[in-house]
A = this chain, B = another copy of it.
Amino acid sequence: MDNKLMLMIPGPTPVPEPVLLAQAKHPIGHRSGDFGKIMAEVTENLKWLHQTQNDVLILASSGTGAMEAGIINFLSAGDRVLVGTNGKFGERWAEVAEAYGLTVETITVDWGKPLDPQAFADRLSADSDKSIKAVIVTHSETSTGVINDLQTINGHVKAHGALMMVDAVTSLGATSVPIDEWGLDVVASGSQKGYMIPPGLGFVAVSPKAWEAYKTATLPKYYLDLGKYRKDAAKNSTPFTPPVNLFYALQEALRLMKKEGLDNIFARHARLRAATRAAVVALNLPLYAPDDCASPAITAVMPQSVDAEQVRSVMRKKYDIALAGGQDALKGKIFRIGHLGFVSDRDVLTAIAALEATLIELGAEVTSGAGVAAAAKHLIG
């Protein structure tokens, strides 16, 4: 059917009706007092979501733009940075750092495996002259559904003294990212993920230590110059025209998130992950990421007896459910189920029920009802 699409991809994620309607309002002037009030409210609520008193700045950009800003504002050409790469996004941050002439070293493991915190400890403790200026880690690797052990890696970074820069694009709003408790310096994210709003806004949380580094950082920047955003945010304003209607959406979505509460949001994502993974196992499909590093936002599945793209095609055409495919080397080999943002228990039951029917249609050996039964176990109670 037309107009009945259900998004189970890791972004854009589903958007609640009050948020969709909020952004359908007529724009107001961004230099007005009314806009200033929205800016003040969303900034306060962003700090709540980020569990921080640090600045949380809002850019008109995708998550990549936000992460690039998070990297380039605090470094100078030639600076040595350590980048963890175990998926498409980790690799992207290494590319960004290289594009700006940083001296990039990577700690790499195969896609689908988690970064090894000990490798960071070893590399950082060997850096006796403290020439490593920043460590860049993707918290939840959207391309593989692996969540990295940010807390442990961050402990090693703290011991060393480098800046800790985090891509939290698919972890923020899905699992706890306690910025102040852990002392994370730079945390970037994007609106079309845990925030439950359409794409178009990027967010960067910046610690006082990062602002110290900003003072001497010399990489060229203007549109992504976070100092400009900080200065204007202090006046509840923005240096460049903000996407006013997406701010309406953000205001409404953050109110909804506060109503649900952080603990409930994180518990819901953990529950959806458990239910999805149990169902996938019950349907005889191999999970791509191991249990102990499974992202609460995305479950990647690497089917053997059926074709991943055929699964996506039947799910899309027959049941109007969009699943994500694999990226780069994983293209055609995995499909990814997003359970991030405005996703309910019912949505997971729905997706699993449709997945079962799809697998049977494609000739896989599946016990009808087994996936739903396995998922439900995690939801009932």
Let me know if A88 is at the binding interface, CB within 8 A. Answer: no
How many residues on the A side are at the interface (Cβ–Cβ under 8 A)? 53
Residues of chain B lying within 8 A (CB to CB) of residue A14: 26
Interface residues of A in 227-260 (CB under 8 A from B): 240-246
Let me know if A211 is at the binding interface, CB within 8 A. Answer: no
Interface residues of A in 18-49 (CB under 8 A from B): 20-21, 23-32
Q: Are B322 and A28 in contact (CB under 8 A)?
A: yes
Residues of chain B lying within 8 A (CB to CB) of residue A64: 222-223, 240-241
Q: Are A12 and B60 in contact (CB under 8 A)?
A: no
CB-nearest residue of chain B relative to A24?
A: B24
Cα A332 to Cα B244 with chains together (Å): 24
CB-nearest residue of chain B relative to A95?
A: B222
Q: Are A25 and B20 in contact (CB under 8 A)?
A: yes
Residues of chain B lying within 8 A (CB to CB) of residue A99: 220-222, 225
Q: Are A220 and B219 in contact (CB under 8 A)?
A: yes
- Given A60-B61, A322-B32 in contact, is the A198-B15 Cβ separation under 8 Å? no
Residues of chain B lying within 8 A (CB to CB) of residue A27: 7, 12, 15, 192, 198-199
Q: Are A198 and B243 in contact (CB under 8 A)?
A: yes
CB-nearest residue of chain B relative to A66?
A: B223
Let me know if A83 is at the binding interface, CB within 8 A. Answer: no
Let me know if A303 is at the binding interface, CB within 8 A. Answer: no
Nearest CB of chain B from residue A162's CB, rounded to whole Å: 21
Residues of chain B lying within 8 A (CB to CB) of residue A222: 64, 68, 95-96, 99-100
Q: Are B28 and A200 in contact (CB under 8 A)?
A: no
The listed residue (B5, B199, B240, B322) touching A62 by CB distance below 8 A is: B240
Nearest CB of chain B from residue A176's CB, rounded to whole Å: 24
Interface residues of A in 298-349 (CB under 8 A from B): 322, 324-325
Let me know if A65 is at the binding interface, CB within 8 A. Answer: yes
- Given A23-B24, A223-B224 in contact, is the A241-B60 Cβ separation under 8 Å? no
Q: Are A23 and B23 in contact (CB under 8 A)?
A: yes
Cα A20 to Cα B28 with chains together (Å): 13
**0/1 string, A45-81, CB within 8 A of B gives 1:** 0000000000000001111110010000000000000
Let me know if A101 is at the binding interface, CB within 8 A. Answer: yes
Residues of chain B lying within 8 A (CB to CB) of residue A7: 26-29
CB-nearest residue of chain B relative to A202?
A: B60
Let me know if A296 is at the binding interface, CB within 8 A. Answer: no
Let me know if A190 is at the binding interface, CB within 8 A. Answer: yes
- The 10 A-B residue pairs with the shortest CB-CB distance in the complex, in nearest-first order: A200-B243, A24-B24, A12-B27, A62-B240, A198-B245, A65-B223, A100-B220, A64-B240, A62-B241, A99-B222
- Which residues of A are interface residues toward B (Cβ below 8 A)? 5, 7, 9, 11-12, 14-15, 20-21, 23-32, 60-65, 68, 95-96, 99-101, 190, 192, 198-200, 219-225, 240-246, 322, 324-325
